[in-house]
């Protein structure tokens, strides 16, 4: 949460609780698949042929499931180098600018993932290393990016609305 509006925090995890569970599940699965792949390669010289692509897809699911969590709480990575000099209207302008750029970037990601999903569905594109369709993952990534954009928009509204 930004220092600008500490009262805008959601104390409830009802809306992102399932996302937190999914992030933990995907990280655990990545660890399991990666460790199994390494052990099989080391001890039996027989790595999992599907290990690397599955870990890659799980990484994508982890990142995109984490986006709404981070966006909801406005907990993006920040650099506090100039924070002590940014106050008042300058802080409001900075917060507004950062949120607008974040919304644009997140909506761009959502649009690109949706477009890629549509092309992949029409062309019946399969993953290059394992025979599974790519379009469901692209649509899931697009939907999660869109949810993140809505959370950022909500944070923008909360940061610029008049205080009571």
Q: Which residues pair with 126 in a beta bridge?
A: 133
Q: Which residue has the tokens 């607008």?
A: 100
The tokens for 57 are: 């897809």
Question: Which residues contact residue 155 at a Cβ distance below 8 angstroms, ignoring those fewer than 6 apart?
Answer: 2, 8, 71, 74, 99
The answer on pLDDT for 99 being more than 50 is yes
In the chain, where the domains are located: 6-160
pLDDT at 119: 98
The whole-model pTM stands at: 0.86
What percentage of the chain reaches a pLDDT higher than 90?
Answer: 71
The predicted-structure confidence for 100-144, as pLDDT tens digits, reads as follows: 999 999 999 999 999 999 999 999 999 999 999 999 999 999 999
Question: Which long-range CB contacts under 8 A does 53-56 form with residues at least 24 apart?
Answer: 53/127, 53/128, 53/129, 53/130, 54/130, 55/30
The predicted-structure confidence for 39-97, as pLDDT tens digits, reads as follows: 999 999 999 999 999 999 999 999 999 999 999 998 887 777 777 788 888 888 888 99
């Amino acid at each position: 949460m930004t220092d600008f509006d500490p009262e805008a925090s959601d104390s409830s995890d009802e809306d992102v609780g399932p996302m937190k569970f999914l992030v933990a599940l995907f990280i655990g699965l990545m660890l399991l698949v990666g460790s199994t792949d390494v052990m099989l390669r080391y001890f039996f010289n027989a790595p999992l042929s599907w290990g690397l692509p599955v870990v890659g897809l799980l990484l994508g699911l982890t990142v995109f499931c984490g986006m709404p969590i981070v966006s909801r709480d406005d907990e993006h990575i920040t650099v506090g180098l100039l924070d002590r000099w940014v106050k008042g209207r300058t802080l409001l302008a900075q917060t507004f600018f950062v949120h607008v750029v974040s919304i644009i970037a997140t909506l761009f990601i959502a649009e690109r993932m949706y477009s890629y999903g549509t092309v992949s569905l029409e062309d019946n594109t399969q993953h290059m290393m394992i025979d599974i369709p790519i379009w469901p993952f692209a649509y899931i990534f697009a939907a999660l990016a869109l949810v993140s954009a809505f959370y950022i928009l909500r944070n923008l509204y909360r940061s610029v609305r008049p205080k009571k």
